[in-house]
């Protein structure tokens, strides 16, 4: 499967749609297609129904959390140094806003090809976390989209039954986000160090205040 | 009763016993477990009840589907925070005297999921546990061993005095707090009357006098 060909085929058949080919530089070379949220359902329907593609099986849906980050790039620029023009390396920093990304892995059972990865990203990680649900296209995405809603906080518009899957309804956090702070339910660690050691010391001083003299014996 | 006299009487065909012995004899040999499993440990528990290991030898083959008819809760598997209130509620609904076997690494401490956000770090934070079985999952033999330990424990309980079961002691609680689902964690995260954070001497190795690294 030539991803470049699929990309241009979709762009020709879905009006107004522009896809981005996300290259994977690793040896596996599993490149993926990124679609905008507004055309996602149309792209998905085309991938599923087109005669030569027939991606009829969505095997996996997963989420990725990208916190806002700075990317530094080394760029060579010509500059005047001590009156002489020289080529100098300069570090340019670009701030990337945080997003939540959702990846769909698609196979074709009928044509026996695949996988291809379809990605889409939210605008940010706080208020604009809406993405169109692809459950109406591939029913197998239903529970996995619910899981992403639960653990990453992506809201899938058009999902038939969007509830939390693993945590309870009143839970407000999204545990798979990178900035998630888990509750401090301390448990004894035999080789406490770093953060665990700090917590152990804190719990110990609290316990010392509550029951003085008891802590040392245990 | 004098042991020699008892032996002498039994030689003459007179059987004597105490109410306590009779009571405990009945209780130890018909412990009916509650029929519920939470994860892979439940598979080992089921294997224990089947013909190869045959828990029926200990009078515990009757797994009751209702907590009202059960004497023993085998917490077999990972207790997620979502499941914990239901486990405590089931325990509260069991009639006294009741016992708990905490089966496997997860039920003891959270096991391999201890660092996770959704697993309770040991069911003993909310209900009193009588026997702990380590293992991941423990083999059926380990469960049988725990069962025999529990029988020993029940046999040693007396009707009066210090060693009487909890329900005969008016000062002991008969119900345990059922945690609620909070915004970030269970509320409360533990039953403070039941469970206290184990505190050990924190190693001072690698620190200087002032306590810094």
What's the complex ipTM?
Answer: 0.75
pLDDT of A188: 65
Q: Name residue A122's beta-bridge partners.
A: none
- In terms of Cα–Cα distance, which of A174, A168, A183 is closest to A100? A174
Buried b / exposed e across B156-194, counting CB within 10 Å, b at 16+?
ebeeeeeeebeeeeeeeeeebbbbebbebbbeebbbeee
- Chain B positions touching A182 (Cβ under 8 A) are 117
- Chain B positions touching A168 (Cβ under 8 A) are 81-82, 181
Task: Give the distance between the most distant pair of CA atoms in chain B.
Answer: 78
Under an 8 Å CB criterion, which residues of A touch B? Answer: 166-173, 175, 180, 182-183, 185-188, 192, 197, 200-201, 203-204, 207, 215-216, 218
Question: Half-sphere exposure of A52 toward its Cβ, with a 13 Å CA cutoff?
Answer: 7
Task: Give the distance between the most distant pair of CA atoms in chain A.
Answer: 77
Q: Do A185 and B121 touch (CB under 8 A)?
A: yes
| Per-residue tokens: A164 | 């939390």
Q: Which residues contact B108 (CB under 8 A, 6 or more apart)?
A: B102, B122, B124, B132, B133, B134
Q: Do A218 and B181 touch (CB under 8 A)?
A: no
For residue B189, pLDDT beyond 90? no
| Per-residue tokens: A186 | 């301390």
Helix, strand, coil content of chain A in percent (nearest 5): 25, 30, 45
For residue B73, pLDDT beyond 90? yes
CA distance A138 to chain B (A): 29
CA distance B130 to chain A (A): 20
Question: pLDDT tens, position by position, for chain A (218 residues)?
Answer: 688 999 999 999 988 888 999 998 899 888 999 999 999 999 999 999 999 989 999 999 999 999 888 888 888 887 787 778 888 888 888 888 889 999 999 999 999 987 899 999 998 888 889 999 999 999 999 999 999 999 999 999 999 999 999 999 999 999 999 988 888 776 666 677 787 778 777 877 777 777 665 544 44
Looking up tokens 């076997």 gives B101
pLDDT of B210: 54
pLDDT of A183: 82
Looking up tokens 């210090």 gives B162
Buried b / exposed e across B64-91, counting CB within 10 Å, b at 16+?
beebeebbbbbbbbbbbbbbbbebbebb
pLDDT of B203: 58
**CB-CB contact of A164 with A173 (8 Å):** no
pLDDT of A217: 42
Chain B residue at shortest CA distance from A198 = B202
- Could you give the CA distance from residue B75 to residue B34 in angstroms, rounded to a whole number? 9
Q: What is the pLDDT of residues B7-44, one digit of tens each?
A: 999 999 998 888 988 999 999 999 999 988 898 999 99
| Opening angle at CA B175, ends B97 and A214, nearest 5 | 100
pLDDT of A214: 53
For residue B204, pLDDT beyond 80? no
Give B206's pLDDT tier (boundaries 50, 70, 90): low
pLDDT of B164: 87
Q: Do B189 and A183 touch (CB under 8 A)?
A: yes
- Chain A positions touching B181 (Cβ under 8 A) are 168-171
- The beta-carbon neighbor of B117 closest among A169, A175, A187 is A175
Query: If DSSP codes are grouped into helix, strand and coil, which group holds residue B168?
Result: helix
* Cα torsion angle, B190, B192, B197, B198, sign: negative
Phi, psi (5° rounding) for residue A115? -85, 160
Looking up tokens 């980050």 gives A69
Q: What is the pLDDT of residues B33-42, one digit of tens each?
A: 998 889 899 9
Query: If DSSP codes are grouped into helix, strand and coil, which group holds residue A94?
Result: strand
- Could you give the CA distance from residue A1 to residue A169 in angstroms, rounded to a whole number? 42
| Opening angle at CA A65, ends A62 and A70, nearest 5 | 145
- Could you give the CA distance from residue A116 to residue A108 in angstroms, rounded to a whole number? 9
Chain B residue at shortest CA distance from A177 = B117
pLDDT of A62: 93
Tell me the count of A-B CB pairs closer than 8 A. Answer: 60
- The beta-carbon neighbor of A204 closest among B118, B199, B203 is B199
Chain A residue at shortest CA distance from B117 = A182
Q: What is the pLDDT of residues B93-134, one digit of tens each?
A: 999 889 999 999 999 988 888 878 889 988 999 999 999 999
pLDDT of A218: 40
**CB-CB contact of A121 with A108 (8 Å):** no
> SS in 3 state form for A23-84?
CCCCCCCCCEEECCHHHHHHHHHHHHHCCCCCCCEEEEEEEEEECCEEEEEEEEEEEEECCE
Q: Do A183 and B121 touch (CB under 8 A)?
A: no
Q: Do B202 and A215 touch (CB under 8 A)?
A: no
- The beta-carbon neighbor of A170 closest among B183, B201, B202 is B183
- Chain A positions touching B110 (Cβ under 8 A) are 187
């Amino acid at each position: 499967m030539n991803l470049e060909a699929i990309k241009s085929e979709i762009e020709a058949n879905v009006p107004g749609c522009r896809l981005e080919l996300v290259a994977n530089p690793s040896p596996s070379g599993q490149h993926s297609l990124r679609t905008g949220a507004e055309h996602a359902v149309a792209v998905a329907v085309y991938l599923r129904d087109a005669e030569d593609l027939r991606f009829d099986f969505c095997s996996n849906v997963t989420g990725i959390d990208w916190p806002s980050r700075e990317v530094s790039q080394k760029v060579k620029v010509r500059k005047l140094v001590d009156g002489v023009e020289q080529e100098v390396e300069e570090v340019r920093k670009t701030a990337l806003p945080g997003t939540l990304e959702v990846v769909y892995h698609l196979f074709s059972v009928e044509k026996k090809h695949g996988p291809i990865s379809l990605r889409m990203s939210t605008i940010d990680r706080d208020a604009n976390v809406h993405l169109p649900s692809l459950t109406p296209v591939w029913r197998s995405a239903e529970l996995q989209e619910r899981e992403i809603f639960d653990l990453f906080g992506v809201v899938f518009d058009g999902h038939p039954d969007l509830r939390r899957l693993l945590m309870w309804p009143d839970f407000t956090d999204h545990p798979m986000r990178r900035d998630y702070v888990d509750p401090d339910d301390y448990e004894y660690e035999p080789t406490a160090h770093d953060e665990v050691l700090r917590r152990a010391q804190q719990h110990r001083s609290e316990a010392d205040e509550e029951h003085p003299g008891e802590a040392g014996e245990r | 009763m004098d042991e020699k006299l008892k032996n002498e009487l039994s030689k003459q065909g007179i059987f004597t016993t105490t109410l306590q012995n009779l009571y405990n004899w009945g209780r130890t040999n018909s412990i009916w477990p509650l029929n519920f499993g939470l994860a892979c440990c439940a598979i080992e528990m089921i294997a224990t009840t089947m013909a190869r290991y045959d828990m029926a030898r200990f009078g515990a083959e009757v797994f009751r589907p209702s907590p009202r008819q059960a004497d023993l809760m085998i917490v077999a598997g990972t207790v997620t925070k979502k499941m914990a209130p239901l486990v405590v509620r089931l325990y509260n609904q069991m009639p006294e005297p009741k016992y708990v076997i905490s089966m496997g690494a997860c039920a003891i401490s959270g096991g391999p999921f201890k660092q996770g956000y959704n697993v309770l770090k040991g069911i003993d934070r909310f209900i009193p546990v009588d026997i702990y079985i380590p293992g991941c999952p423990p083999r059926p033999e380990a469960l049988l061993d725990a069962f025999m330990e529990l029988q020993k424990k029940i046999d040693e309980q007396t009707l009066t005095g210090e060693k009487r079961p909890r329900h005969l002691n008016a000062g002991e609680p008969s119900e345990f707090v059922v945690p609620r689902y909070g915004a970030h964690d269970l509320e409360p995260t533990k039953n403070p009357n039941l469970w206290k954070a184990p505190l050990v001497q924190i190693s001072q190795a690698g620190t200087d006098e002032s306590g810094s690294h």
